[in-house]
Amino acid sequence: MKNMIKVRLLLLVITLFILMVSVSADETFPTIFEYTNPEITVMISAPTDISSEHLKTIADEIVGIAPDIMVSPSNDSPSNIICTLLGHNLSPEVTVTATHHKVETHHPRCLMEIYHVVYCKRCDYTESSLEDSFYIVCCPED
């Protein structure tokens, strides 16, 4: 009888563990934002609660960053009174992949850069850091 209770308790614990793992797996970044022009393609993996305006701002900042800049805060001072008094309400880290097309004349031609970006949910403060950059085969030679 005691063994049966232990088996049922074990099954209950395993079931609860499986449910917790499946719930935590839903906390991914399903929103993909893509910004493309002939010279650069920017893809952003972001939380679902981020607005399209913030995604566009992040893409614009990445497009404007020179490849040799490692950290680029867009604003040095908070732009609203709440951030001035309480500090920024920073978002979770957003991963941004930027592909600069036709950088070199021979293969591999394109430069891919991976950035990690955090932004304030209350104002327009963003901070980007370049995590990695490497050349890839993307565009054909002219």
pLDDT tens-place string over residues 80-133: 788 888 888 888 888 899 999 888 888 888 999 999 888 888 887 888 889 999
CB 93 within 8 A of CB 117: yes
Q: Give me the chain's average pLDDT, please.
A: 77
> 120 vs 17, 46, 58, 136, CA distance in Å?
34, 14, 11, 32
CA 117/CA 58 separation, integer angstroms? 8
Over range 63-91, report the average pLDDT. Answer: 65
Closest CA to 129 of 95, 81, 80: 95
Per-residue model confidence (pLDDT) at position 74: 47
Q: What is the pLDDT of residue 111?
A: 92
The residue behind tokens 């609860």 is 16
pLDDT classification of 71: cutoffs 50, 70, 90? very low
pTM value surpassing 0.75: no
Structure tokens at 119: 């932004």
**pLDDT more than 90, % of the chain:** 10
Strand order in the sheet with 94-100: 31-36, 40-46, 94-100, 110-119, 126-136, 71-73
Mean pLDDT of 16-28: 58
